[in-house]
Structure formats: C-alpha cells, structure tokens
Amino acid sequence: MSSDPTVDHAVLTQILTQLQSLQVSQQALQAKLDSLSSVTSRSASSGVASPAQSASVPLPVTASADATASPSASAANVLGSIQASTELPDKIISDREREKLLYPGRVMLTTYPDQHGVKPHALKWGASDPTERGPVICSRLPSSFKHRNAIGAHSGSYSIYRALAIAMGTLVPTHKPDYSRTEPPVPIPPQPSWFDPSKIVSFDPWGHLVPQVFTREMTEQGLDVRPSIAITKAHMKLSEIDEAARRGDVVVDGKIVMKSVPLLNADGTVNPADPGVEIAISKAAIEPVWFLPGVAERFGISENLLRRALFEDTGGMYPELITRPDIKVFLPPIGGMTVYIFGPAAYMYDESKELTLRVHDECNGSDVFGSDICTCKPYLTFAIEECVHTAQRGGVGVVVYFRKEGRALGEVTKYLVYNLRKRGGDSADKYFRATELIAGVKDMRFQALMPDVLHWLGIRKIDNMVSMSDMKYNAIVQSGIPILKRYDLPEHLIPMDSRVEIDAKIAAGYFTSGKQITEADLVKTVGRTWEETEH
C-alpha cells in the first residue's frame, strides 16, 4: 500500500466511482425485475404463464437490499389460493413458478449499514419504557424488511419448519397472526432488572407483552412484530407424583395439588383404581433473543469475535452478523426454555416468601423415556415435589427447563459417548474423559446466560436450590442473587446405573451433602454392561 496520500485518494475515488456505477446498474436491473414480477403476478392470477415464469435462467444474486427480495403481498395472495402441489394429482403451477411467486426479486445475501432505503427501527436495549426500547423486528416481509433491527428468525430451530411450510404452500408467508385473547393469564410485570442492559441479554424481557405494548407499530406502521414469550396455565400430571401422593409424600390440598378425575375402562365404565393427582401450575415458554454486546461481555470476549464465531460455525448462515455491526440483536436457531411456577407467581418477587428453585437442562432419554444411565428424571421429579411442598407452605416453587440436550452437545453426541463408555468399561474414573474424546469438551452448557430468566421473573433471593452443579450455583450468585441453601438428590433416589455419573461428579468437586469420594474410589464404581441387559 502506498504511503502517498495523493495516490491513496485517487484509489479511493476510483473505488467510489465504481461502486456508484454498480449501484446505478443494480437499480436499473431491479426496475426490470420489478416489472417482470408484476407481470408474473398478474399472469398467475389469470392462469396464464408469463415468459418470466418459464425462464430457466436463475435470478441474479446481489448483496443489496430491496423489498422485492422478500415475498410481495400480491404473490403471497396468489399462492394462498393455490393448494400445495403435493396434495394434487397434477401440479397447478411448477415449483419454479411458485418460487418466482414467493420470491420475485433478486437473491439477497446481506445488507449493509446506511444502505439506500435501509432504516432499522430504533431499539435501545434496557430502556425502561417499551416505546423507547422499541420492538424486535427480524421479518423479511415487505412491510418490515427495511426496518429490521434484528438478525435471524423467530421460533429458534422451528423457523426451519416454517420455511418448509411456505415452500410446500401450506402457509402463506404474509399470514397475520391474531393475538387477541392471547394475553398472559398470569402477570409477569416489569422488574428493575429489565432496565439494566447487563442483567438480561439472552431473551427479550418484553417478549410476552408484544401485542399490548407494540400495538401502534403493528397496526399503524404495519410492522411484523411477534411475541417471543408466551405465558399460560395448566395442570401437570406425572406418574412419579401420583406415586408420591400414594406414599403420602405429596398431600392433596385442593389448590396446589388436586385429585385427578376417575379413570375409565375400555367399555366406558368408571375404573375404581386410584386416578392419582394433578398439580396446578403456571408456565412460560421463552425463545432466545440475544443482545450481542451483552452476550459477548457475559462470556468475556469481544463482540466481533462472537459474531465471527457465530457466522463461521453455522456454515455462514447469517452474513449480517459480519456485514451489519449496527444491528445488535440476533435470534439464534436454538431451543429456548420453559418456566414452571408452583404457587402464586407474584411471590417470586416478594422477598418475604420462601422460594425453591431447580434449573434443569433437558435430557430427553431420561426425562421422557426413563433411561436410568443418568439422574436427570429423578432430579426433576424430586425438585417438583420440593416446589410443591414450598408452595403448600405459603411460598413458591420454580423449575426452569432449558433446551440443552446432552450438556448442549446434542443427543447424537450423547449416544456416541454412551457407546464408548459401555464398550470401554463404564467406570466413574473414565466418565468425563469419554465425553472429551468425542466432543472435545466435557460440557458446553456455559451457564453464564442462565440467570437471565431469574432476573426476568423478579427473583431476588433463593431459599432452596436443588442442584449439585457449581457452575449453576456460581452463575446465579455472581449475577447478584443469593442462595441460602442448596441440596442434591437423596441417595435412595439415585438409579444404580447412574452411580457412575454421580460419583464422577462428586470426585470432580461437584456439591454433595452426602459422602465424599476421592479419585482413587472411582475405579470401584462401575456401570451396567450391555450384556447384563440381554436375555
């Protein structure tokens, strides 16, 4: 690079001239495409294929932003009147024609700051007033495309199913949800922590109030703004709780715990068997919405490094992580969490009330299907009992269920580790090493973001925490929420084959209220072999 400022200026001038020329060419091309798109929509409505519909030349790819890069309303309306071709004996229109109706403009790879026509809706993370904070907008529909202030898509990993539904023709992309009568039956009001941009960085604290606080943006401005949190009420029924009630460990009080309706026989008559019990709960489903500067700070890395890692290791799925440093919000394609509340929700932010907490990371094999190689389901059901007891004492219980399957390594990796353990001699001294050999790390849950949900709920202190995880304990305490007591799973509830896991964790320094285990003891703890289960 020359150090002569005159030369540098000349080079810069030449580059700017070329960019301006390219922009003019792109605008001219776009005008032609807009005209073709208009013809395409009219022809499709009349049942006549236009030359543009039958063209086999791919649409040009560009990095510029235009509303035509998203589905037009007219094209969507046409598609909405056409059934999915897979449901018909003969296709009404070809997939190529449907693609042009859905996406009549150029393929838009990315946008850039200060680009012509691009004006993100103002969003101030941590603002105390929702109007000042602004809605999260990631939609690519024409009404919202140029106002997007977030990267990604709503519904996390389920956004892929939405894309599939649109491609198949079963969903019109411009469908406008009717949010009337969907407001939370249980209030989670604003808390001081909502207004601290460092306290909640992994989801939108206003997510459950979107239809109420962003009505003007949705109705008057026509912006596609969607809730990222939903709250409802339900009854929980688990066979383990039924059994606990029969033993007398859970008491029917008619308010928190109720008797289930009688069972029926196959002929419709009433079965005299004990029907068990049900637990009245409130619950909230939360989708991830990351405020990138806050997430980066929480992990002690730069925002640029975070953006680059997210871009590279998702196969380049989101170029705007790199090209749009002005957009600070990202909706990652991952699972969120569910909060289960036992007792009055208002007690969560009343420090005079007792509060019991369990932070549980998903384990489908154990939680749902009862695998005994780990203690996940016993921990979960024991914590639910403890939450019920607390609610019946006049307090409140909270279980937060995170979608972090297999320590956030995924179920495929987890099962590969199981195979390695069982073939290599499943002893506690090899427990963590088996995971590291497959995944490269022993745990990718990284609990730094976990306390956000507790701050959203308004929790200021925890009386009882059911957990042996120091990572969870430290993350909560360091976020400013004291924990007065913590305790682990009682010995008699630990399945035999999961003893390997428990002993390995205790020896590694995990919290335990029971016996201490040394590294030398680990070789004595051995799990069941496959051969023992074959008959």
Domain boundaries, the chain: 94-226+292-324, 233-288+332-533
45 — pLDDT class (breaks 50, 70, 90): very low
Per-residue pLDDT, 2:
45
Round to whole Å and give the CA distance between 450 and 471: 10
User: How would you class 325 by CB atoms within 10 Å of its CB: exposed for 0-12, middle for 13-18, buried for 19 or more?
Assistant: middle
Indicate whether 76 pLDDT > 70. no
Per-residue pLDDT, 304:
97
* Greater model confidence, 480 or 106: 480
Q: In 505-531, which positions are buried (b, 16+ CB within 10 angstroms) versus exposed (e)?
A: bbbeebbbeeeebeeeebeebebbeee
Per-residue pLDDT, 520:
72
Indicate whether 298 pLDDT > 50. yes
Tokens 């549980």 -> residue:
360
Per-residue pLDDT, 11:
52
Indicate whether 297 pLDDT > 90. yes
Tokens read off for 467: 């957990």
Q: Within 13 Å of residue 260, how many CA atoms lie on the same side as its CB?
A: 23
User: What's the whole-number mean pLDDT along residues 14-37?
Assistant: 50
Which residues are catalytically annotated?
443, 445
Class of domain 233-288+332-533: alpha beta
Per-residue pLDDT, 56:
32
User: What's the whole-number mean pLDDT along residues 72-78?
Assistant: 54
Residue 334 and residue 483 in contact, taking contact as beta carbons nearer than 8 Å:
no
Residue 485 and residue 463 in contact, taking contact as beta carbons nearer than 8 Å:
yes
SS3 52: helix
Residue 241 and residue 279 in contact, taking contact as beta carbons nearer than 8 Å:
yes
Round to whole Å and give the CA distance between 227 and 207: 5
Per-residue pLDDT, 67:
42
Round to whole Å and give the CA distance between 346 and 450: 21
Average pLDDT score over the chain: 85
- CA 112, 115, 117, 119 dihedral sign is positive
Indicate whether 183 pLDDT > 60. yes
